Chain A
Amino acid sequence: MRMWFVCRFCCPAAQSNSNPEWEAKVLEYFKGQLREKESHSWVPSLNDVPLHYLKPNSLVKFRCLVQDMFDPEFYMGVYETVDPSTKANVLRCGKYKDVTECGVDLNSRNTVTAERQTFYCVPIPGESPWAKEISFLSAARVVPSTSYVPSRQKRSYEEDDDDMDTQPQKQREPHTGGMGETPQIQPHGNGDSKRQETEAPSSQTTAPSDCSSHLDLNFPLPGERGPACLVKVYEGLDSFKLNDTLEIYGILSVNPVLTVLGEEKDPSLLLLNPTESMETPEEQRAHDPPASLVPRLHMLYARPLQHNNPLLPSAPTEDQSAFVSSFLVEMASVRAELLAYLTHVLLGDGLAAEYLLLHLISNVYTRRDVLPLGKFTLNLSGCPLNSYTERLYQIVQQLVPCSYRLSMSLHTMNSMRLVPKKDYVANRLVSGALQLARNTSLFLDETQLEQGQLDSSGVRNITALGNLISWQKVDYDFSYHQMEFPCNINVLVTSEGRSLLPSDCQVPLQPQVTPPNMEEYLTTIHMAQFTSQINKFRVYLSLARTLDYSISDEVTKAVEDDFVDMRKDDPQSVTAEDLHRMLVVARLLSLSLGQTTLSRDGWMRAKHIDMLRRSRTEQQKSLNGNEP
């Protein structure tokens, strides 16, 4: 029932064009339906269900990042068709559709031109496997009656990972699911569907030889996979921004007509028809990729996502506040457990674990003119070599819903594209690894860096990372000018000595244990945690970030006095920068305990751990000789 009403709904509405409010009513209707409890989880998701199992013209949802915004386009909002046999004129609606019915009367006076915009959306870059899995399992739980059977879906997902070629064969298998309904795949959608899972070309590997037919889906991170989508937006164009994470509800369109474009070009027509020749083949490939690879989604409604943690209710509703208040009670205990876990992971270093925890819940909560507040870039120095950092990343990845590890080897720094760049030939924004969703954990592994020559692109990349850390912004390259896009990315730098990148806070790691076999040690720690425990950690980290925070006047006064006293003792070592950092630490420390105001105790604790950290860095300095 869910999927059907859409296609039925649109057509009659178009015919009763006399009522101009129907458009508003459509949106009202869908919003109303989706507000109902659980109803949004009935809608199949493009993230989870392979495209060829979804019915064209049905309602689907898509959890994604707005990667690029194309130019607005004009379309026939209302048009008239002439039936060739009866010569009867019929008014039709072009909204939420890509293709018109046959026999359009282009000269009709009833044609209404309307405007819409296309966004190029990709799945949230760096989404952790656990987040994908949970959201997909939960979807499976509540979608019992899709034509497509969840248990099979799970399998196909895994098989896709192994081998893409097994798919066609799999489709031939009889579908058993007990629902008695075989998948209703439109004949035209079938042929191309096997190409659906196109892997983003990894920057390290050279493109396959048949790259002419290979479509670059423009994922920000190498090795990503998943459907990219062209989303047609009709309302509220100004409310969307680049890099927004959205959950989009819309009508899926995979009409094969969209695919044939560009293939049957008659050269003689090209000469005379300028409208066709003005697009380069690159542009056409970027803007009109085959619908079987990049489906079109006509947006009805989009929900901005505060986070993509499937364990937390995503919408700010009553059940979320209930959820928060219930979780607040156990916050302190979960924190203790998490701290213990991280201490183990960081080889018994409790202070580093404390800082890592604070880093994981940090968040740019506001900006004062150019200054981002709340960012907390951590530089974990003195990391053991030999794949320790890799392991550490895997553990971080298990905890946060979005993450990416950038191994800062010379080769990567020189060859990788970090900053998105506008490609004017194809007229699209070519993505880079720094085009990330908010609150993504970026793990910079500086232990991989060796001595050598950075070329100009390497220098640019390092500068971009420095800007990201200091100002939380990325300057996208528009070749004639740069454009600044603010971001909110948690950067963790692991290095041997002090990092060459700026950071808010450096913690030298002091391992208390030296396990003979690092791999084994970390694996055992990881295995020792139950999934339920890990899930608690995940909820904790996402939740602590969203809490509100304030400082009372009384504490403000105390902090001020404290600062003045500290300066009195030693004006050289305590600067404004230190106060900045301590205020952030105090904030994060309070939030990590579930406290939404700064207490005197909280401030003292923050001061205390900052002192411990500083004495450690000083110690390190005297050990290593005077660092520059």
Chain B
Amino acid sequence: MILIDDSSAVNTIVPSNLITKLKILGLNTSLFNVFSVLPSEVDMSSPLMYGTPSSRVEGTPRSGVGGTPARQRPDLGSIRKAPQVDLHSEPPSADGAVASEQALGQKLVIWGTDVNVGTCKEKFQRFLQRFIDPTSNEDENAGLDLNEPLYMQKLEEISVVGEPVLNVNCSHVQSFDADLYRQLISYPQEVIPTFDMAVNELFFERFPDSILEHQIQVRPYNALKTRNMRSLNPEDIDQMITISGMVIRTSQLIPEMQEAFFQCQVCAFSTCVEVDRGRIAEPAVCRNCNTTHSLALIHNRSAFSDKQMIKVQESPDDMPAGQTPHTTIVYAHNDLVDKVQPGDRINITGIYRAVPMRENPRQSNVKSVYKTHIDVIHFRKTDEKRLHGLDEDSDQKLFTEERVQILKELASKPDVYDRLSSALAPSIYEHEDIKKGILLQLFGGTRKDFSQTGRGNFRAEVNILLCGDPGTSKSQLLQYVFNLVPRGQYTSGKGSSAVGLTAYVMKDPETKQLVLQTGALVLSDNGICCIDEFDKMSDSTRSVLHEVMEQQTLSIAKAGIICQLNARTSVLAAANPVESQWNPKKTTIENIQLPHTLLSRFDLIFLMLDPQDEAYDRRLAHHLVALYYQSEEQIEEEFLDMAVLKDYIAYARTYINPRLNEEASQALIEAYVDMRKIGSGRGMVSAYPRQLESLIRLAEAHAKVRFSDKVETIDVEEAKRLHREALKQSATDPRTGFVDISIITTGMSATARKRKEEVAQALKKMIQSKGKTPAMKYQQLFDDLRGQSEAAITKDMFEEALRALADEDYLTVTGKTVRLL
């Protein structure tokens, strides 16, 4: 029934499962004739003896693989719909590939495919033995010698570790042998068992003594054919595909019967029946005693395999706007069960299946719809490394050659920095420096690791705070940035709690399992977290940010879960002044009433104020009116496409890691020394090491904008300029007009501090001059001080002075009276 000899156009072999199946059915004798035409060159170690699931029937030891039992692979064909076709009436179609195989002199292929088992096996063994990938940077290959055959090292690993699974990257196969890759993609059901066989032979040849739980299974991944759930179509059925998505639901474990064990009630004769397409044919007659309907199913002795249904949803990045995400059903088998949890982002490699709806015997016609699912062969979590901090290029975007060319061309333009910054939020007028700052934030600095020296990670992310009058399009900027970056989060200080920002522990209603749900800050790891109405945030919420904004981690100790999550996120915050209108007579701190400990963690603090001059007004008016009447095309011409900008940033973030060169470091040192000098003349400190770090980050980001691997002097210059601009806006002491960094670092300008001391001293002097009076009236004292002092003294100042004196243990204030001590 299965094999035909050379006389036919194409020769075919069917995996032995069909044959063994026939054996079970007791049809051996009738089929003997067919076997007898077996061409002699097929030896018993190859295809016929090898089998997919049912080969375990007799548990025969395989030649060359010792006594290790084979393990069935329900992922490859538990629900086979292999049609039982009479070969004599329907010769398989001979396509080009088959013909070429024939020309090589190989004549036997698996029915319905162009796969010759012998050749395929040989090719794969050659691949395993020879494939070297010196440029590999996959974390799985960490610790392996890149100049040795990669997969042989992995086999060695298997012999040591004893986990009989070999993951094979399909792109390796493709670069090694394109034809083998094509076969793997097109006929995974046939090719993967062949691979299994090849690898086991090779393995047990090398490590004859190793003991494995079962035979090694090959798990290919990273099939390049399909990347997106949306592009799956009927042509992909029964082919190997790789798609990415997010797990939204997992079912409980489903025991799936693989083999039913029947026992005769009369003579205790037992027999096993394989599940065929989800059904078990109950033997009607006992073969031993010929009693009819005497066989009973024994559940305990039947063989089951684990199975789990997983629902996967398209990841939001893959979707066209305005449509809902698609979902796909995935079946995981055996040890892949419970490997993923809802919420995980994964890449799945598997075989796409379509099963016709069950025919109901009671219905004459059926629904004409197929059910589709994927039998998973390999899972790869895309975000697992996020928790471990290894991840550098997990979400590496694939750029086409042309795209890279366009980006590089853009990068080579001298005015790329200005171009990009003007392309940022074109609907928002001017604020060039703020846009430039945000642009640098989008690129970020270079990540450095000082963990060996005990310093830990060095922050590479740039944090920016925008403050200013309401209605100066701060929110709009935030919205724009949020829409631009792939991993952006947008929250409002008013509506978010500490829990919403960080992470919380939740009990899964179904499994009763504790699950860690991550909040906005963790979700925007490697992205930007936009926080609107920063000033409206409660203190407890804000305190969370302290850790995130400098250490870039988030510690959680809740409900027995203690962990530290990475939150390498840039914070872009917007705050409104307390008095709803910016008071130019006050310092930044006084205007927005934020703790200075938090403020000093922002690299750049910008004020968005109304400049109020005529030329500006005119340009603004022109810009706004244009917004309302220009057509789309005109706008497009003027500005860069948002998509280009997105790609540009993604490319730079992934591939460009600039380092400081000698001159640049010198320039940075000078800049820092200069900054320190400014203040020292007046006894003020105008820069701290934090500012130096900020400068370095900004310079690196600017180098990234230029696609340069070196941070050069021009980068430092721009960083200095921008930093100075921002300082000029936010750290200028309104009383003196000087830039004073201590406003941000200590919350008070040096002059203000001096002034406070003066008032306290004056008050002390006044009290002393009054002689020995143990208690005074509060109001009386205030009035006296006011009368005495030539400068106006506010109640706040007076109270502050009192407090200062109380700290000196000079007096105490109780209610309305002041007592001397």
Binding site for B on A (CB under 8 A): 68-69, 71-76, 79, 94, 97-104, 106-107, 109, 113-115, 238, 240-243, 257-258, 260, 264, 269, 271-278, 366, 368-371, 373, 422, 424-425, 427, 429, 459-460, 463, 470-471, 478-481, 483, 485-486, 550-551, 556, 559-560, 563-564, 567-568, 571, 575-577, 579-580, 583-584, 587, 628
Alpha-carbon distance A74/B83, docked complex (angstroms)? 20
- Extra contacts, 4 of them, besides A101-B365, A576-B472 (Cβ < 8 A), are A109-B90, A241-B323, A483-B325, A568-B617
- Given A115-B233, A576-B624, also A257-B365 (CB < 8 A): yes
Whether A463 lies near B492 (C-beta < 8 A) is yes
B370 at the interface (CB under 8 A from A): yes
CB < 8 Å neighbour of B425 from A97, A369, A471: A369
CB < 8 Å neighbour of A424 from B249, B328, B331: B249
Q: Please choose the segment from B100-108, B187-195, B275-283 that sits at the chain A interface, where 4 or more of its residues have CB less than 8 A away.
A: B275-283
CB < 8 Å neighbour of A100 from B355, B366, B427: B366
Interface of chain B residues 214 through 273 with chain A (CB within 8 A): 232-234, 237, 246, 248-249, 251, 254, 256-257
Q: Which residue of B lies closest to A567 (CB)?
A: B617
Q: What is the distance, in angstroms, from A622's C-beta to the closest C-beta of chain B?
A: 17
Whether A99 lies near B367 (C-beta < 8 A) is yes
Q: Which residues of A contact B620 (CB under 8 A)?
A: 563, 576, 579
Q: Which residue of A lies closest to B614 (CB)?
A: A564
Q: Which residues of A contact B473 (CB under 8 A)?
A: 576
Q: Which residue of B lies closest to A479 (CB)?
A: B248
Whether B322 lies near A373 (C-beta < 8 A) is no
Q: Please choose the segment from B37-45, B201-209, B448-456, B628-636 that sits at the chain A interface, where 4 or more of its residues have CB less than 8 A away.
A: B628-636
Whether B628 lies near A76 (C-beta < 8 A) is no
> When A and B form their complex, which 8 residue pairs have the shortest distance between CB atoms, in order from nearest?
A241-B322, A563-B621, A102-B364, A113-B234, A368-B427, A560-B621, A551-B629, A107-B83
B311 at the interface (CB under 8 A from A): yes
Alpha-carbon distance A606/B472, docked complex (angstroms)? 23
- Given A114-B234, A370-B483, A564-B614, also A75-B248 (CB < 8 A): no
Alpha-carbon distance A277/B251, docked complex (angstroms)? 10
The total of Cβ contacts below 8 Å across the A-B interface reads 205
Alpha-carbon distance A379/B232, docked complex (angstroms)? 48
Q: What is the distance, in angstroms, from A437's C-beta to the closest C-beta of chain B?
A: 14
CB < 8 Å neighbour of B369 from A75, A269, A483: A75
Q: What is the distance, in angstroms, from B233's C-beta to the closest C-beta of chain A?
A: 6
Whether A564 lies near B307 (C-beta < 8 A) is no
Q: Which residues of A contact B278 (CB under 8 A)?
A: 272-275
- Given A115-B233, A560-B618, A576-B473, also A100-B367 (CB < 8 A): yes
- Given A238-B320, A275-B357, A560-B622, also A75-B368 (CB < 8 A): yes
Whether B628 lies near A551 (C-beta < 8 A) is yes
Whether A275 lies near B355 (C-beta < 8 A) is yes
Interface string of B425-445 (1 = CB under 8 A from A): 111010000000000000000
Q: What is the distance, in angstroms, from B812's C-beta to the closest C-beta of chain A?
A: 37
Alpha-carbon distance A422/B324, docked complex (angstroms)? 10
- Given A71-B326, A72-B326, A115-B233, also A98-B367 (CB < 8 A): yes
**What are 22 A-to-B residue pairs whose CB atoms are below 8 Å?**
A71-B328, A75-B370, A98-B369, A101-B365, A102-B365, A240-B323, A272-B278, A272-B280, A274-B278, A278-B373, A368-B427, A368-B627, A480-B313, A550-B629, A551-B629, A556-B625, A559-B621, A560-B621, A576-B471, A579-B621, A579-B625, A584-B628
Chain A interface mostly helix, strand, loop or mixed? mixed
B329 at the interface (CB under 8 A from A): yes
Interface of chain B residues 349 through 386 with chain A (CB within 8 A): 354-359, 362-373
Whether B368 lies near A576 (C-beta < 8 A) is no
Whether B358 lies near A369 (C-beta < 8 A) is no
Binding site for A on B (CB under 8 A): 79, 81, 83-85, 90, 232-234, 237, 246, 248-249, 251, 254, 256-257, 275, 278-280, 307, 309, 311, 313, 316, 319-329, 331, 342-343, 354-359, 362-373, 425-427, 429, 471-473, 475-476, 479-480, 483, 492, 495, 580, 610, 612, 614, 617-618, 620-622, 624-629, 632, 635, 642
Interface centre among A243, A470, A550, A571 (most CB of B within 10 A): A571
CB < 8 Å neighbour of B325 from A240, A277, A478: A478
- Given A272-B275, A274-B307, also A74-B369 (CB < 8 A): yes
Alpha-carbon distance A461/B799, docked complex (angstroms)? 44
CB < 8 Å neighbour of B323 from A113, A242, A559, A575: A242
Whether B249 lies near A242 (C-beta < 8 A) is no
Alpha-carbon distance A564/B625, docked complex (angstroms)? 13
Whether A104 lies near B366 (C-beta < 8 A) is yes
Whether B327 lies near A427 (C-beta < 8 A) is yes
Whether B280 lies near A278 (C-beta < 8 A) is no
Alpha-carbon distance A563/B624, docked complex (angstroms)? 11
Q: Which residues of B contact A106 (CB under 8 A)?
A: 81, 356, 359
Q: Which residues of A contact B342 (CB under 8 A)?
A: 480
Q: Which residues of A contact B257 (CB under 8 A)?
A: 271-272
Alpha-carbon distance A3/B331, docked complex (angstroms)? 44
Whether B621 lies near A242 (C-beta < 8 A) is no
Q: Which residue of A lies closest to B642 (CB)?
A: A369
Alpha-carbon distance A584/B323, docked complex (angstroms)? 30
Q: What is the distance, in angstroms, from B620's C-beta to the closest C-beta of chain A?
A: 6
Whether A370 lies near B479 (C-beta < 8 A) is yes
Whether B355 lies near A567 (C-beta < 8 A) is no
Whether B429 lies near A576 (C-beta < 8 A) is yes
Whether B323 lies near A99 (C-beta < 8 A) is no
Q: What is the distance, in angstroms, from A583's C-beta to the closest C-beta of chain B?
A: 5
Q: Which residues of A contact B365 (CB under 8 A)?
A: 99-102, 104, 257
- Given A68-B324, A425-B249, A463-B495, also A568-B621 (CB < 8 A): no
Alpha-carbon distance A278/B332, docked complex (angstroms)? 13
